[in-house]
């Protein structure tokens, strides 16, 4: 009997692919995002393959020992612990059977440590978070003032959006609407642009927009559809102010050449409905202060038919509300189903942390003054911009989630504003939980 020698097993060159070639992290972060690595090798079970980091271009930022690979089979998760601000190219190597290997490069960027890092998470894919609306289960829809895309995030975890909705076509917008405020009534989310001129003092029609989206589902299953839009609120506000003695100077503030972010400017950043109403919306102004000088009061103008303004109807107005926020203005405005309001107060001027920020509680009633409940940290990059939801303020230890706009921040120490970074995976805003006192 003649036996045929068994042939040696032949293994192909393994492959290694990243879900994204770019990843961001933060020094001291406990919840950074990860990337998925997919590996394979012909003739071998994927579980027999190993993945390691074999090289770092800047070990001070992150060394090979700072790369963690978890999981088995064809899909592995790769996360990185950062030690310093900056960039590092990390070489990832897969080793297969037969001693065969392959490599790929992960381009990593680390932002500096922040206060309350244990309570911080990073929402990647955009850096100019400007309004946020809770949709249940810890998920939040976030607007970005540099584009007309709404993004759904898991607000408890760092990472990319779960889903996005680009609304340029629905809004018939060539430029950004400059979305700055949003709030929900039932299944409808109302959104407002800043309504002001751009930073160069030029009128851009797309900014004079209020619109709605309709919510279906909740949490990770949330979907949005475009509702309607109106483009006359700015003009109606100017006409109303002129008819009432030009009290707030809206006509002058919206004139050609007038920039919006000045003490006597015109810039909307807050939107919330009045207590118990589904038609009267409070429009909160970042500028002007009243009177327009240091120490002036913050301004809220009630739009009494907002449900129709978003469909193109001429706006009608209630009695304006002037609030003492210690010389700060409205950066966001949010209430809960108990009629308890929180006001995120900040500078009319600064887009960063160079001026104070604070949270005030309010009952939403004109003539009643707000009460400061928390001063916010200002030593970190970015500016506090959005309140996700208002907890029951009567419960001791109530916590609130805030989001920063990091668009003007130099996150990685190279002099580049986050909004100008070439890779969206490196663009991010920060969300942090605070306990109210």
Sequence-separated (6 or more) residues with CB below 8 Å from residue 6: none
Domain coverage including residue 247: 117-435
| Nearest CA among 42, 123, 153, 116 for reference residue 432 | 116
The percentage of residues in the chain with a pLDDT greater than 70, rounded to a whole number, is 97
Hey, how many other C-beta atoms are within 10 angstroms of the C-beta on 145?
23
HSE-up of residue 186 (Cα within 13 Å, Cβ side): 8
- Residue with tokens 């004079």, as numbered in its chain: 208
- Sort strands 75-80 and 67-70 into parallel, antiparallel or unpaired: antiparallel
Domains: count for the chain: 2
Query: Taking residues 98-115, what's their average pLDDT?
Result: 97
Last residue of a domain, one of 82, 111, 140: 111
Name the strands in the sheet holding 383-387, side by side, starting at the edge strand that comes first in the sequence: 120-124, 428-435, 399-405, 383-387
Q: CATH number, domain at 100?
A: 2.60.40.1080
- Residue with tokens 């003539």, as numbered in its chain: 367
Same domain (yes/no): 31, 179? no
Sequence-separated (6 or more) residues with CB below 8 Å from residue 304: 279, 280, 316, 317, 318
Residue 47: inside a domain: yes
Same domain (yes/no): 122, 107? no
Residue 8: inside a domain: no
Q: How far apart are CA 242 and CA 219, in angstroms?
A: 44
- Please state whether the predicted TM-score (pTM) of the whole model is above 0.75: yes
Last residue of a domain, one of 78, 111, 144: 111
Q: How far apart are CA 298 and CA 289, in angstroms?
A: 5
Same domain (yes/no): 51, 139? no
Q: CATH number, domain at 377?
A: 2.115.10
Same domain (yes/no): 332, 263? yes
Q: How far apart are CA 89 and CA 108, in angstroms?
A: 6
Same domain (yes/no): 55, 97? yes
Using one digit for the tens of pLDDT, what is the confidence trace for 260-292?
A: 999 999 999 999 999 999 999 999 999 999 999
Same domain (yes/no): 102, 130? no
Same domain (yes/no): 376, 404? yes
Spatial contact of 145 and 176, defined as CB atoms under 8 Å apart: yes
Instruction: Kindly tell me if the per-residue pLDDT of 51 is higher than 50.
Output: yes
Residue 147: inside a domain: yes
Using one digit for the tens of pLDDT, what is the confidence trace for 286-315?
A: 999 999 999 999 999 999 999 999 999 999
Residues pairing with 283 in the sheet = 271, 301
Using one digit for the tens of pLDDT, what is the confidence trace for 159-215?
A: 999 999 999 999 999 999 999 999 999 999 999 999 999 999 999 999 999 999 999
Same domain (yes/no): 153, 195? yes
Q: How far apart are CA 222 and CA 137, in angstroms?
A: 10
């Amino acid at each position: 009997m003649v036996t045929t020698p068994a042939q040696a097993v032949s293994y192909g060159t393994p492959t290694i692919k990243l879900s994204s070639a770019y990843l961001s992290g933060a020094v001291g972060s406990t919840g950074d995002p990860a990337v998925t690595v997919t590996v394979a090798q012909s003739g071998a079970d994927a579980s027999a393959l190993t993945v390691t980091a074999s090289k770092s271009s800047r070990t001070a930022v992150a060394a090979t020992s700072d790369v963690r690979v978890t999981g088995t089979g064809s899909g592995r998760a790769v996360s990185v612990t950062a030690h310093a601000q900056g960039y590092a190219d990390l070489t990832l190597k897969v080793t297969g059977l037969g001693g065969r290997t392959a490599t790929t490069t992960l381009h990593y960027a680390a932002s500096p440590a922040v206060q309350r890092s244990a309570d911080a998470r990073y929402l990647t894919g955009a850096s100019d978070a400007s309004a946020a609306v809770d949709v249940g289960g810890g998920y939040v829809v976030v607007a970005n003032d540099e584009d007309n895309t709404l993004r759904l995030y898991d607000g408890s975890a760092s990472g990319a959006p779960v889903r996005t909705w680009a609304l340029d076509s629905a809004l018939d917008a060539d430029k950004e609407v400059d979305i700055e405020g949003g709030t929900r009534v039932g299944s409808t989310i109302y959104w407002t642009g800043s309504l002001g001129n751009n930073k160069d003092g030029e009128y851009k029609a797309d900014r004079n927009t209020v619109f709605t989206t309709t919510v279906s589902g909740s949490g990770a299953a949330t979907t949005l559809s475009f509702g309607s839009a109106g483009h006359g609120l700015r003009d109606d506000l100017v006409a109303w102010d002129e008819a009432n003695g030009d009290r707030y100077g809206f006509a002058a503030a919206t004139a050609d050449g007038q920039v919006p972010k000045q003490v006597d400017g015109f810039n909307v950043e807050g939107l919330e409905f009045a207590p118990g109403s589904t038609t009267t919306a409070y429009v909160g102004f970042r500028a002007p202060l009243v009177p327009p000088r240091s120490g002036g009061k913050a301004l809220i103008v009630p739009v009494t038919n907002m449900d129709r303004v978003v469909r193109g109807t001429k706006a009608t107005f209630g009695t304006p509300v002037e609030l003492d926020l210690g010389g700060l203005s409205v950066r966001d405005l949010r209430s809960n189903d108990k009629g308890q309001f929180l006001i995120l107060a900040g500078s009319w001027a600064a887009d960063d942390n160079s001026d104070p920020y604070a949270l005030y509680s309010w009952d939403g009633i004109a003539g009643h003054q707000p009460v400061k409940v928390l001063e916010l940290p200002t030593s970190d990059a970015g500016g506090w911009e959005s309140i996700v939801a208002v907890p029951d303020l009567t419960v001791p230890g109530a916590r609130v989630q805030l989001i920063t706009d990091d668009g003007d921040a130099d996150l990685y120490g190279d002099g580049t504003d986050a909004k100008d970074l070439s890779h969206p995976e490196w663009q991010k805003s920060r969300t942090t939980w605070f306990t109210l006192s």
